[in-house]
Amino acid sequence: MNVLTRDERIRVVAALVEGNSLRSVSRMTGIARNTITKLLVDLGEACMQYHDTHVRNVRVRRLQCDEIWAYIGAKARNVSAEKKEIGWGDIWTWVGLDADTKLVVSYLVGGRGAVWAKDFMDDCASRIQGRVQITTDGHKAYLEAVEGAFGMDVDFATLQKIYGASEETEKRYSPAKCIGCESKVVMGDPDPKHISTSYVERQNLTMRMHIRRFTRLTNAFSKKLDNHAYAVALHFMYCNFVRIHQTLRVTPAMEAGLADHPWTIAELVAIGEAAMPKPGKRGTYKKAEEISN
């Protein structure tokens, strides 16, 4: 693998977080695709570790939770049993977002069942300080997961969207028209004015625009589960610490008190460089015939 300079790493990461695919970044920068992938893996893993360590004890008043669908390799209906063993098929990203600071408090890449819901809500609870109002969609897995993670010390409501029948010509390319919403108080005393998932759904749109792997009806989908998770980790690190929110005029991390300035791409790259193993000394060069003997 080529050893990239700091400037080259910055160029690659700046292109990735703005929604470019690995192949397009390779064409733009002249850097090999495998080298870009290795950088994504190293930096994505560092972003996971940084988020896990530093996004803690956050004061959240209103938490909005949602899941966004994607797939690895192929959609679930087209995946063989052998490919399922290596992670191919449908994949979901769970997102917990602070409605006030727009900070992504927690995220999880995995399935959509009750076990994943429990892991996700347990992680949210471990990062949040004080009583919180939570709004989710109507996914039933949230019901036990929220109670198990927060107990009764939570104000919890669900918001279920109601869709009308869509025309057959539009069925494949666009969702059915939303004709209403039904809110339901599950426990506690949530403020009806703040029973909403609008902000986290907007974050889902940002994911589809800024992570090429999430773009629908293309061949840019992830081919490996680990690389998909690393791309998600890089995205949320960028959105929390680097990208200035247009309404807040600061980054979500600054609004939440986790940072005192907007990070640059160079600072984002630096946390990956600090975690990367240093290249070791090369061994003695041997000719091909010496190796064969």
Given this model, what pLDDT does residue 236 score? 98
Express each pLDDT in 152-196 by its tens digit. 999 999 998 777 766 655 555 566 777 777 889 999 999 999 999
* Residue 94: closest CA among 82, 111, 80, 78: 111
Task: Answer yes or no: is pLDDT of 214 > 80.
Answer: yes
Task: Answer yes or no: is pLDDT of 1 > 50.
Answer: no
If one compares 254 and 218, the residue with the highest pLDDT of the two is: 254
- Give the list of residues 6+ apart from residue 260 with CB closer than 8 angstroms, or none: 254
Share of the chain above pLDDT 90, in %: 80
Lowest mean pLDDT across 101-110, 135-144, 155-164, 221-230: 155-164
Task: Answer yes or no: is pLDDT of 72 > 70.
Answer: yes
Task: Answer yes or no: is pLDDT of 290 > 60.
Answer: no
Please state, as a whole number, how many other Cβ atoms lie within 10 Å of the Cβ of residue 27: 12
Express each pLDDT in 74-94 by its tens digit. 999 999 999 998 899 999 999
Output DSSP code: residue 37: H
Given this model, what pLDDT does residue 186 score? 95
Task: Answer yes or no: is pLDDT of 270 > 80.
Answer: yes
- Ordered structural domains, the chain, with CATH: 6-275 (3.30.420.10)
Q: What is the mean pLDDT of the chain?
A: 90
Q: Cα 273 from chain centroid?
A: 21
- Are 245 and 251 within 8 A, CB to CB? yes
CA distance 264 to 15: 14
If one compares 167 and 274, the residue with the highest pLDDT of the two is: 274
- Give the list of residues 6+ apart from residue 224 with CB closer than 8 angstroms, or none: 72, 87
Given this model, what pLDDT does residue 71 score? 96
Task: Answer yes or no: is pLDDT of 280 > 90.
Answer: no
Given this model, what pLDDT does residue 293 score? 44
